[in-house]
A and B are shown apart, each in its own frame.
Chain A
Amino acid sequence: MRILIVDDESINRFLLVHMLEEDGLLDVYEARSGHEAIVLASKIQPDIVLLDVVMPDLSGFDVARELKNTNDNVYLPIIFITSLDDEETIAKCLDVGGDDFVSKPFNKTVLLAKVRAHARTRELSKKAELQNKELTYFRHSIEREHEIIEHIFSQAIVNNPLVTRYFDYRLFPAAEFSGDVFLCEASPNGGLYFLIGDFTGHGLASAIGALPVTKAFQAMATKGLSVSEIASTLNTTLESLLPINMFFAAAIVEVSENGCRLNVWNGGMPNLLLQSPTGELVTKFGSQHMALGILQADEFDDKDEVYSTEPGSRLLAFTDGLIEITNAEGEMFGEEGIERWFVGNPSVSVEELMAPLKQFLGGNEPHDDITLTMFTCQALTSLRRNQPVTALPFSVSATLHHNELKQGEGVQHFIELICSQRGLSWIRSDLFTILTELYSNALEHGVLGMDSSMKRTSEGFMAYYEQREQNLADLQSGYIELRAEFDVGERLLTVHVTDSGEGFDSLALEKVPSDETYGRGISMLRELCETLTFIDNGRHAVARIPV
């Protein structure tokens, strides 16, 4: 403990130094005037100042004010030494910032007791100051980390604006980071997917899970996986990732290209409400499953609900933060609350749904994140038509001769070649069906000259394919030419399949009764293509496929 004694009289300084030394306090400095005290104090940083009141240059009052002003946030005890014991001076000592006083003549016991008591307070103050500094440091580093995380989140959790414009949605986080997730992505089949979910709790700890969920969801959506598969994969990912007390309630919905067929998987979320174009409640998609991230893969149930509705119907989904909001009387808004505002109100927007909520809250802050999203059932053709597509008006062709026909992989490589072009992976599954179908026709009925009608009986069906294998193995000549042309302006892919065979009656194939085990290929293709024509006596098929 470092003590500064300020007194213009040397006898007083001597007495004080002596008393302190006797008690083992040896780190003692002396100043003979007010000015000297101020200069010395800034140099030696005393822990306690013993200060005389009356001095020739600066009074002890002025010195005390100055020392208290220049001092940092740590408590610097100033004990006035005074021979004056009138109450007014004592009061002033304390007014100007003094903390205590000792009277002359000095009483050693009292002096030392006071010095020690104030030293303890200074120690406490030093500790508090240190903790304050640490806290400030931590606060700053957390703020910096949050900025970084916010940046990452804002870059990583981004929905495609072409898809979000089909949704009316709002997210109200309870803290800086939201444990609620709303994701949507176009499907390669022309429809779209969306996911609304809620991690246990709120804030950063619950928001962090949104990253892997977003990445996995987007990857699976772009592949066109079913909602069952998406649910099951997310469950497996989260089950291994999340601590045992944390999970992810989520509803995953796939909307078909016509906008009216809904596949819904709901695990732990409030009911999704489907409203007819005139406002009636059509159905509710309740939670059928446990939330994601709880069950092991073998216990997990990926079964989804399928529902077909009419255009103009509206599907509303929300997180439980909405139904759990509580008013000043401690009442919850509840599912009935939201249904009351939504049902029978075919034009209400999400924004307008929030109004009664805010009124209900009456100034209270919601305790959990709140997310609402509404989808109006409508054809999504523009979604597919708006996906960027290659600007290259290409034309490719491949002629497969008998050796390539035997290997049988040519058509798949050809499909890969086309689908590797930007935007064309969207039609991969249609293109696969169309091209393999036309290829099979060209090969079986053209090059190999086989007749489908033998497939009529079960034995014939097998025999047909056995014969196909045999004929193909024996093949010595013949070819199939595959050609694809892409029209950028029309966004139209035209594929030609030409074979070296004798031709076949394509019309006859379409007249086969529908319960036969053959002959359904061409009518199926007509549904998938814009147009399908056979020319040159069935030797040359032309399919036009919109992209």
Chain B
Amino acid sequence: MALETQLSTDEKLLVIKMDDKFDFGKVQDFRKAYADLPESVNVVEVDLAHTEYMDSSALGMLLNMQKVLKDSVPTIRITHCRPQVLKILTISRFDKKFDIK
């Protein structure tokens, strides 16, 4: 499994931990990661601590997730970005649409 998901014990927070590459190869897994969420979830966190590379389809996947979850999950945040990943997110103005830490 290329990515891991963790649901907090109070079922309010879902963390999706990506591995070193966040590219089109992750489309299916990433979609599955936030499918069938419990209604209690109000924060989804995409943890990019281990992600070294990202391509534009990853950006597409993040936007897609935002579209799908916009009515059910108020907060989607992207955390632990490495500088090069952050650079791509910033170039793409993702800092305006997502809570990036």
Contact = CB atoms under 8 A, between A and B. Distances in A.
Interface string B22-51: 011101100100000000000000000100
Contact of A437 (B25, B55, B64, B85): B55
B84 A429 contact: yes
B93 A514 contact: yes
A518 B49 CA distance: 24
Nearest to A439: B55
Contacts of A228: 49, 80
A489 to B, nearest CB: 27
Given A432-B53, A517-B60, A462 B27 contact: yes
B84 to A, nearest CB: 4
Interface stretch (A3-11, A169-177, A194-202, A519-527): A519-527
B52 interface: yes
B75 to A, nearest CB: 17
A226 B53 contact: no
A226 B60 contact: no
A433 B68 CA distance: 26
Nearest to A429: B84
B6 interface: no
B82 A465 contact: no
B interface residue count range (under 10 / 10 to 19 / 20 to 34 / 35 or more): 20 to 34
A436 B93 contact: no
B83 A191 contact: yes
Given A226-B81, A520-B59, 8 more contacts: A429-B84, A430-B84, A433-B53, A465-B27, A465-B57, A515-B63, A517-B60, A517-B63
A524 B80 CA distance: 21
Nearest to B49: A229
Contacts of A229: 49, 80, 82
Interface of A: 187, 189, 191, 224-226, 228-229, 254, 256, 263, 303, 408, 429-430, 432-433, 436-437, 440, 455, 458, 461-462, 465, 468, 514-518, 520-521, 524, 527-528
Contacts of B61: 461
A462 B24 CA distance: 11
B1 interface: no
Contacts of B28: 465
Given A520-B56, A524-B56, A458 B83 contact: no
Q: Which of A187, A429, A455, A521 has most B Cβ within 10 Å? A: A429
Interface of B: 23-25, 27-28, 31, 49, 52-57, 59-61, 63-64, 67-68, 80-85, 87-88, 91-93, 97, 101
Contacts of B53: 429, 432-433, 436
Nearest to A412: B21
Given A189-B87, A458-B68, A465-B28, A436 B60 contact: no
A256 B88 contact: no
B55 A433 contact: yes
Contacts of B63: 515-517
B55 A517 contact: no
Contacts of B92: 520, 524
Contact of B60 (A187, A263, A455, A514): A455
A62 B93 CA distance: 100
A462 B83 contact: no
Given A226-B83, A429-B52, A465-B28, A524 B64 contact: no
A225 B82 CA distance: 6
Contact of B80 (A226, A455, A465): A226
B67 to A, nearest CB: 5
19 contacts: A189-B84, A191-B83, A224-B52, A408-B25, A433-B55, A436-B55, A440-B57, A461-B61, A461-B64, A462-B31, A465-B27, A465-B57, A468-B24, A514-B93, A520-B56, A521-B55, A524-B88, A524-B92, A527-B91
Contacts of A514: 93
Given A436-B55, A437-B56, A521-B56, A224 B82 contact: yes
Contacts of A191: 83
A520 to B, nearest CB: 5
A228 B85 CA distance: 14
A6 B80 CA distance: 91
A454 to B, nearest CB: 12
A58 B68 CA distance: 116
Contact of B64 (A263, A436, A458): A458
A242 to B, nearest CB: 25
